[in-house]
Chains A and B, each alone.
Chain A
C-alpha cells in the first residue's frame, strides 16, 4: 500500500506568498489562524494565567488592571481637571471614550508589538505571527469586555439609558478594526525598516487621546472641527459615542470615508504582512 497517497505536497519558494493577491492573502491568513486555533487558545490561556501567576490577588488582577486607566481618568474628570461640557455626564463620557480609545489603539499596537517581540520565537518554533497576533487580540477583547461592564455599571448608577441604536456600535468598531488593524500591520512591516515608525506611533497613541474627544470634547472652533474630521480616532470615538447615546451619527461623511479607506488599508496591510512575514522573521 502506498503510504504517500493523500499526503499534502508543500512547495517552498521565495515567491510562494507573492503569488497571492489581496483576497488570497486574506484567505491564507484566515486559514493560518484556523489551523492554529488550538495554539491561539492555549497561548491566550497561558497569558491569562501568567498575568496573575504568583500574585496574592490572583485572577482579580485580570479585572483590576484594565480598569486602572479608566478610574484614573474618571477621577481626573470628577475633580474637574478637564474642561466642562454638556450632554452625557462626565463619568460615562470619560469611561466610554477611554474604552473605545483602548480598543482602537489596541488594533494598531497589537500587531506592532507582536512583530517586534515574537519574530525570533516565530522563527524557532515555526508558529505564524498571525496566530500570536490573534491570541493577543483575545487579551484585548477580554480587557474591553471588563471595561464595558464597568461602563454599564456607571450608566446604571447614573440612570443613563442607551439609545436603541447602541448595538450598531459593533459596526463602527468593525470599521475601526479594518482601518486601525490594517494600519498596524503596515506599520509593523515599516517598523522593521525604520524603528522611527514605532516611536512616532507611540507618541501619537500616547498624546492623541487629548485630541480625539476621548475624555473631553474637541471643541467647536474651525480647527477643532477639521481635526475631528481628519483624525480617524476622533471620528470613530465620536461616532461610537453618538450611536450609543444619541441614536444618530452627526458626521457620517468622515466616518464613511475613513471606513472605506479602512477596507483598502486592511487589504493592503494583510497582503503586505502575509508576503513579508518570513522576511520579518529574519530581520527583527
Chain B
C-alpha cells in the first residue's frame, strides 16, 4: 500500500509539476504574445528644397527650366567630365525613360551647356 501511496503521491507531484510547467510556459507564451510590439508612430519630416540653379553661363536658364523640376542641380554638378555623346544619351534617357518634359527645341542648348560645364573630348576607348 505504502509504495502505491508513495507512487500516487509522486504521480500527483509529477502531475503538479507538469501542470505548473505547462501553465508557466503557456503564461510565458501568452505574455510573450501579449508583449506590445514597439509602436510605430506616424512620422512627418521636412526635406531640403534643393532649389539651387545652374552656374551662370549661356544656356543656364534653359537647363534650369528643363532639368530642375525632376532633380536638384547637385545631381548634375557632381558628375564627372563626360563625352558629348554620353551627355546626349543622358538627355535622351531623361526624355524617353523618365518622361521629362524637355522641350525638343531646347535639347541642343542643354547639350552645349552640359558639355561646357562637364564635357570632354571623346576618349579613344572603343
Q: Do A and B come from one complex?
A: no
Q: Which residues of A contact B (CB under 8 A)?
A: none
Q: Which residues of B contact A (CB under 8 A)?
A: none
